[in-house]
Structure 1
Amino acid sequence: MSDAPGVHSETGPLRQVIVCRPGLAHRRLTPDNCRALLFDDVFWVKQAQRDHDAFVAVMRGRGVEVLDVHDLLAETLALAPARAWLLDHRITRDHVGVGMMADLRAWLDALPGEALAEFLIGGLEVADLPFAPTGLFGAHLGPLGFVLPPLPNLLFTRDSSAWLPDGVTLNPMRWRARRPETLVMAAIYAFHPRFAGRVEVVWGDSLVDHGLATLEGGDLMPLGHGTLLVGMGERSSPQAIGQLAETLFARARQGSGRVHRVIACQLPRRRAAMHLDTVFTLCGGNVATAYREVADATVCFDLRPGEGGRPLEFRRDPRHLFDLVAEALGYPALTVVPTGGDTPEERAREQWSDGNNVLALSPGVVVGYDRNDDTNAALEAAGIEVLAIPGAELGRGRGGGRCMSCPTRRDPA
């Protein structure tokens, strides 16, 4: 494969990935604000960092190039055009009011790239400012308010942008607390020397309000063979999926795209199944792991390029999700490893702890949390090598190895 960015499968050899180490954003979490920032609990940050370092070490030990958002953003912000673009769109009257725009922008403009990146990801409190906040917004904040809220969910780099065979999607996130993450990634892709001029955005715009058309990368699974699997539930809407499919099919007709089939999977709209990859992931070959209690109730729709001038056609497919994925991958059937545990309660616990949210590094080799003993044992019995990482702290964020990674280069399976 070439070194050009692109993800051509779910389980082919992983070459390059973007992660985001826990840091200031997670130290900003408190019992009072964590729910508003979409966390169920606060982190012991030092342990979460050690856990994440183990995750990165496992990937690097298998030959994966691991890039961290903090480093990429700091290097991006060292470039004057990139800094101006990102601050122009992050420090606005809508975000910080009218009273301290000039003072805030002048101070941020003077910061080194590393410090500026730390605040743009970790959040900016009144106490961080070298001046007293002014204006109505400043008075409203009080001594402990956030001038810029932290982005703790950027830990889950999978969601804000997602790489397909054709390029990348810049995803309009479901919840307002996460939307600045997409702006950060858009700046990196547009300006960082690793990506500038080499990235094609196939759908999504970080500067546009997409309304109800929301999409997140945890719902996007490029299966290869021209097929994209998409979850449709709490975070990714049918409005966005229809637009994405229409765009991908148009590219395929023009000869510049590789996706000619989209399978949309309707999931229950609840937090335990917030993304498709929280209940179903591929491990290599025809082996997958799934939380059957949700997967068996999933309704699938088959989207194809339209005929006679229509942009796309869709129909409800009566077959099971597993049968559709097996067909797309070219297998008679999937071997499905269900979430481990002898009782429904045990299975629900391991699904909640991301037992099914594994990241394939190559066919048959996955990264999973050590706390999911039964699911990991079942995967190993099915011939899958599980590289277990500590999950006691990282698991509090409700995301496993797949959630915490944004592959930018992956080979076909």
Structure 2
Amino acid sequence: MSAPTPGVYSEVGPLRTVLVCEPGLAHERLTPANANQLLFDEIVWVEQAQADHRQFVGEMQALDIEVLELKDLLTDVVADPAGRSWLLDRKLIEDLVGVPARDELRAWLDDLPARDLAERLIAGILFDEVPPGDGADYLAALARLEVPQFVLPPLPNTLFMRDSTSWLYGGVTLNPMHSAVRRHETLLVTAVYEHHPRFAGSDHQVWFGEREGRVTGHAMAAVEGGDLFPVGDGLVLIGLGERSSVQGATQVARNLFAAGAAERVILAGLPNVRSAMHLDTVFTFADRDVVTAFTPVTDHIQTLSLRPGARDGELDARADTAPFIETLSNAMGTQLRVIPTGGDGMAAQREQWDDASNLLALRPGLVVAYDRNTQTNAALRAAGIDVIEIPAGELGRGRGGGRCMTCPIVRDA
């Protein structure tokens, strides 16, 4: 039986296929000295994080959700000479590895077994891991100078698969990401969509981003998946804050409208702070008409609605006068019930920081949440939402919950 056609048509419809990336060698390379630069607040106990992630995956598989693993898909891609060549041509760019190291790295990586190469593309490469050869004197000299530690930097944020690419209805965004340390994540997933047999024949549309995989040194027009919500019935919600810009969001809207894939895009303004780096850190769906929200932020969100303009490529942009939840309720044609992040003022702040509002809906009324957010989970259950709890201690150290760790590939309306 052929695989289902990729497409995500809601936030809460039954989840059929999802893409994840288990913690691994990239996380072993987090240190107190580099963790902040790599967007982690703390170093990770990797073995426990792997066990907890496997529990998370097992909960989804127990519901017959197909779980795809990025390392497995990348292994298949680079096992094929054409896929390996496409990816390494775009990965080993001078802006990332410098000039003398590029050819030496290419010769070595071209000969690596597929699984080893897939692992290293995520985990990065230390200078002293490159075997001697042409250019080895240069790499050794850099190592002695202690600049920089990695000839290829690690990508530990691949754990948070939501951000690099996002399926919206029948197409995908290949997201130019805000932080330079994350932009090569998008390249890896793009290689999967373009060269893995599972996706290569799907003829999917690209709403935004570089189908050719070009990685730029800047991203004024940044978009990340934590801010992208295919609400359903032609409605899309996009957060604007630390990680996603109006320049990127308006291009996504224009391209969705041009294809008739969406009728309205609501832009939601966020404070530019790490605790609200994406919209899904303060707001997610738990059911068709139930959302969880960190109200100290969501009560102050201002929105702007985009619709197709009078001429092709134009946008009709109008400020919404109603509060955020009311605007969204009216657009959906249903009154949303809000479950605030649990506890008093301080408890709510603590649980929001620990991703209490970053729920992954597996089907209407069934969500995955971190176990440490006891008060929010109790409030969800009191409202009739079934909650599957997973351990938070290690997986949450990069600030991301169940929604962050998953890229839905197939989800029903």
TM-score interval, smaller chain: over 0.9
Residue identity matched to 1:6 = G
3-state SS of 2:410 partner:
strand
Would you say 1:219 and 2:221 are equivalent positions?
Answer: no
| Aligned equivalent of 2:284 | 281
CA distance in 1, matches of 2:181, 2:78: 22
Secondary structure at the residue paired with 1:194?
A: helix
Aligned CA distance change for structure 1 residues 282 and 99 (closer, same or farther; 3 Å): same
* Pairing 1:231-250 to 2, within 5 Å after superposition: 231-250=239-258
Match of 2:60 in 1: 59
Q: Distance in 1 between matches of 2:72 and 2:172?
A: 20
Say which SS state the counterpart of residue 100 (structure 1) adopts: helix
Q: What does residue 203 of structure 1 align with? A: 208
- TM-score scaled to structure 2, two decimals? 0.95
Q: CA offsets, 1:157-193, max 9 Å, x none?
A: 0000000113110000000000000000110000001
Report the 3-state secondary structure (helix = DSSP H, G, I; strand = E; otherwise coil) of the residue aligned with 2:304.
strand
The 1-side partners of 2:298 and 2:306 are apart by 19
Report the counterpart of residue 320 of structure 1 in structure 2: 323
Residue pair 1:100, 1:135 contacting (<8 A) in 2 also: no
Matched AA of 1:207: R
Partner of 1:167: 171
1:77-96 counterparts in 2 under 5 A?
77-96=78-97
Q: Secondary structure, in 3 states, of the residue corresponding to 2:142?
A: helix
Question: Where does 1:342-381 land on structure 2 (aligned, <5 Å)?
Answer: 343-381=344-382
> Residue in 1 aligned with 2:337?
335
- 2 CA distance for matches of 1:48 and 1:211? 31
**What is the match of residue 390 of structure 2?**
389
Q: In the alignment, which residue of structure 1 is the partner of 2:15? A: 14
CA shift digits 1:318-349 (9 cap, x unpaired):
11221122223321x111000001x2111000
The verdict on how the C-alpha distance between 1:88 and 1:308 changes in structure 2, with shifts beyond 3 A counting, is: closer
Q: Corresponding residue for 1:103?
A: 104
Question: Structure 1: which amino acid aligns with 2:338?
Answer: V
Question: Displacement of 1:137 after TM fit?
Answer: 6.1
Inter-partner Cα distance in structure 2 for 1:3 and 1:330: 29
Confirm or deny: 8 A CA contact 1:99 1:138 kept in the other structure: no
Say whether 1:149 aligns with 2:153: yes
Specify the code of the residue in structure 2 equivalent to 1:213. A
Q: Equivalent residue for 2:259?
A: 251
Residue 292 (structure 1) aligns with? 295
CA contact (8 A) 2:101 2:138 kept: no
Aligned partners of 2:94, 2:323: CA distance in 1, in Å?
A: 49
Q: What is the distance in 2 between the residues matched to 1:265 and 1:135?
A: 52
CA distance in 1, matches of 2:313, 2:73: 41
Match of 1:270 in 2: 273
* Per-residue CA distance 1:346-403 (angstroms, 9 max, x = gap): 1000000000001000000000000000000000000000000011111111000000
Give the distance between the partners of 1:234 and 1:359, measured in 2 at CA: 22
Range that drifts further, 191-200 or 125-134: 125-134
1:304 paired to 2:312: no
8 Å Cα contact 2:258/2:313 also seen in 1? no
> How far apart are 1:38 and its partner, in Å?
0.7
Task: Report the equivalent of 2:196.
Answer: 192
Instruction: Look up the SS of the partner of 1:263 in the other structure.
Output: strand
SS at match of 2:200: coil
Return 141-150 or 354-363, whichever deviates more: 141-150
Is residue 161–residue 170 contact of structure 1 (8 Å, CA) maintained in 2? Answer: yes
CA distance in 1 between counterparts of 2:306 and 2:209 reads 19
- Letter aligned with residue 336 of structure 1: V
Matches within 5 A, 1:1-40: 3-40=4-41
Q: Is the 8 A contact 1:123 1:150 kept in 2?
A: yes
Greater mean deviation of Cα atoms: 230-239 or 139-148 = 139-148
Q: Provide the C-alpha distance between the structure 1 equivalents of 2:346 and 2:136, rounded to a whole number of angstroms.
A: 53
Supply the AA of the counterpart residue of 2:142.
H
Task: Tell me if structure 2 keeps the 8 A contact 1:233–1:266.
Answer: yes
More displaced stretch, 140-149 vs 402-411: 140-149
CA contact (8 A) 2:183 2:215 kept: no
Distance 1:393 1:310, change over 3 A: closer
Residues paired across the two proteins, number: 404
- 1:102 Cα shift? 2.1
Mapped to 2, the partners of 1:138 and 1:334 lie a distance apart of 60
Contact 1:92–1:101 (8 Å) recurs in 2: yes
Q: Indicate how the Cα distance of structure 1 residues 359 and 98 shifts in structure 2: closer, same or farther if over 3 A, else same.
A: same
Q: CA offset at residue 309 of structure 1?
A: 5.3
Change (3 A) 1:141 1:95: farther
1:136 CA drift (Å): 5.5
The answer to which of 305-314 and 212-221 deviates more is: 305-314
Q: Which position in structure 2 is the counterpart of 1:255?
A: none
Q: Hey, what's the Cα distance between the residues in 1 that align with 2:98 and 2:243?
A: 29
- Does the CA contact (< 8 Å) of 1:97 and 1:135 recur in 2? no
Q: TM-score if structure 1 supplies the norm length?
A: 0.95
Cα distance change, pair 129–3 in 1 and its aligned pair in 2 (3 A)? same
What letter corresponds to residue 7 of structure 2 in structure 1? G
